[in-house]
């Protein structure tokens, strides 16, 4: 692989018709950070800033074929997964990751519930993600509700986060970025756990309702950094800075949880 090839990210996730999350947010993020985005769409969500109004499944075979043609022709330096709504789709992703052309870097964002509260997966799928996909991951990026689901216990405060991060690491992944954005308070803490120990990322909370797609965006930004050759801590640090700027400059679209400003690295809105 040449230096010129670095930055190719294959995104395996659902489409968001509102453009704030899912595949659309992923493509914008990878592009804004100088990477090249490819996609394997797992589902079509009928979605806006107010919530998910419907989901159209993509056949698992089509997911596997999308991955195969991208990996075998263009190649990838990292794969990022988002919404995986069935056991069959998880199996399709695992088949894609087993291809000789698949990269070693895998970022798993264990998407389970939409910002508006709609469930995006099943209990059997969660179990498949926990036991089969997460052990393959370089890093997973759960928020606190997702961590609670994966661990089978409530993770509700800063005092719980360190232990929860290490317990998630015990699922077999290379590292865990446990996100604390669901906690109240002026401080926002994310905890990165790896075999080397813990790294804390603390920042003042940005007060905004434009939070749709923050998880997708952060995971794709991390995947882009890894694909470009950054080490994990550097990739997380850059990704968090990108997301925070996207939150701070959000355009205020929609009547619910609005989208971020993914294009802040390119030009401001309206120019």
d(CA 72, CA 103): 11
d(CA 236, CA 265): 17
Tell me which of 216, 217, 224, 225 is the catalytic residue.
Answer: 216
Cross-strand pairs, 192: 177, 199
User: Is-contact 137 102, C-beta < 8 A?
Assistant: no
Tell me which of 19, 82, 213, 225 is the catalytic residue.
Answer: 213
Tell me which of 179, 180, 224, 225 is the catalytic residue.
Answer: 179
Work out the angle at residue 208's Cα, subtended by the Cα atoms of residues 204 and 213, and round it to the nearest 5 degrees: 100
Task: Give me the torsion for CA of 181, 240, 224, 40, rounded to 10°.
Answer: 20
Tell me which of 121, 214, 217, 224 is the catalytic residue.
Answer: 214
d(CA 271, CA 248): 18
Known catalytic membership, residue 179: yes
Known catalytic membership, residue 213: yes
Q: What is the DSSP string of 102-158?
A: --S-EEE----B-TTS-B-S-HHHHHHIIIIIGGG-SEE--BHHHHHHHHTS---SH
Tell me which of 31, 121, 211, 224 is the catalytic residue.
Answer: 211
Known catalytic membership, residue 211: yes
Known catalytic membership, residue 173: no
d(CA 167, CA 187): 23
Nearest to 137 by CA among 150, 148, 124: 150
Work out the angle at residue 130's Cα, subtended by the Cα atoms of residues 15 and 114, and round it to the nearest 5 degrees: 35
Tell me which of 180, 215, 225, 258 is the catalytic residue.
Answer: 215
How many helices and strands in the chain, by DSSP H and E?
Answer: 8, 9
Which residues are known catalytic residues? 179, 211, 213-216
């Amino acid at each position: 692989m040449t230096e010129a090839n670095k930055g190719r990210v294959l995104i395996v996730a659902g489409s968001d018709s509102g453009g704030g999350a899912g595949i659309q947010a992923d493509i914008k993020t990878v592009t804004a950070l100088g990477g090249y985005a490819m996609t394997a769409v797992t589902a079509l969500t009928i979605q806006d800033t107010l919530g998910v109004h419907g989901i159209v499944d993509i056949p698992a075979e089509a997911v596997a074929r999308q991955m195969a043609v991208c990996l075998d022709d263009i190649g990838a330096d990292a794969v990022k997964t988002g919404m995986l709504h069935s056991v069959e789709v998880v199996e399709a992703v695992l088949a894609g990751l087993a291809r000789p052309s698949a990269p070693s870097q895998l970022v798993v964002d264990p998407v389970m519930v939409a910002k508006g509260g709609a469930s995006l997966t099943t209990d059997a799928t969660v179990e498949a993600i926990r036991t089969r996909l997460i052990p393959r991951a370089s890093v997973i990026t759960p928020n606190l509700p997702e961590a609670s689901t994966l661990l089978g216990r409530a993770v509700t405060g800063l005092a719980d986060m360190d232990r929860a991060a290490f317990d998630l690491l015990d699922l077999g992944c290379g590292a865990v970025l446990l996100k604390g954005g669901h906690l109240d308070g002026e401080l926002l803490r994310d905890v990165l756990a790896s075999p080397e120990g813990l790294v804390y990322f603390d920042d003042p909370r940005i007060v905004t309702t434009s939070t749709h797609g923050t998880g997708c965006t952060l995971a794709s930004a991390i995947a882009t950094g890894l694909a470009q050759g950054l080490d994990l801590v550097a990739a997380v640090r850059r990704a968090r800075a990108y997301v925070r700027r996207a939150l701070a400059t959000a355009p205020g679209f929609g009547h619910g949880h609005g989208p971020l400003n993914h294009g802040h690295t390119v030009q401001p809105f309206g120019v």
